[in-house]
Homo-oligomer: A and B are copies of this chain.
Amino acid sequence: MASDFTLEELQSATRNHGMPLEGLAYATTPPGMHYVLTHFDIPRVDPGTWRLEVDGRVARSLCLSLEDLRARPRVTQPVTLECAGNGRARLEPRPHSQPWLDEAVGTGEWTGTPLGPLLQQAGLLDDAKEVLFSGLDRGEQGEIVQWYQRALSAADSLRPEVLLADEMNGAPLPPQHGFPLRLIVPGWYGMAQVKWLHRITVLDEPFWGYQQNVFYRIAQDDDDPGVQLTRIYPRALMVPPGMPVFETRERLLSPGPLTLHGRAWSGWGAIARVDVSTDAGEHWHQSELEPPSAPHAWQAWSWTWEAEEGRHELLCRATDAAGNVQPLWPRWNLKGVANNAVQRLAVRVRHEPEA
Q: Which residues of A contact B (CB under 8 A)?
A: 1-18, 20, 22-23, 25-26, 30-34, 36, 38-42, 44, 89, 96-97, 99-101, 103, 138-142, 145-147, 174-177, 240, 243-249, 252, 352-353, 355
Contact = CB atoms under 8 A, between A and B. Distances in A.
Contacts of A101: 10-11, 14
B7 A10 contact: no
A135 B18 CA distance: 23
Contacts of A147: 355
Contacts of A103: 14-15
Contacts of A97: 247
Copies in the complex: 2
6 contacts: A26-B175, A30-B175, A31-B174, A33-B174, A40-B243, A145-B353
B22 A41 contact: yes
Contacts of A13: 10, 13-14
A13 B101 CA distance: 10
A73 to B, nearest CB: 28
Contacts of A246: 39-40, 139-142
B42 A33 contact: yes
B5 A10 contact: yes
B244 A140 contact: yes
Contacts of A138: 243, 355
Contact of A22 (B11, B33, B44, B355): B44
Contacts of A2: 7
A31 B32 contact: yes
Contacts of A100: 14
A344 to B, nearest CB: 13
Contact of A139 (B140, B177, B245): B245
A248 B8 contact: yes
Contacts of A36: 17, 32
B14 A3 contact: no
Given A3-B7, A20-B176, A247-B8, A44 B32 contact: no
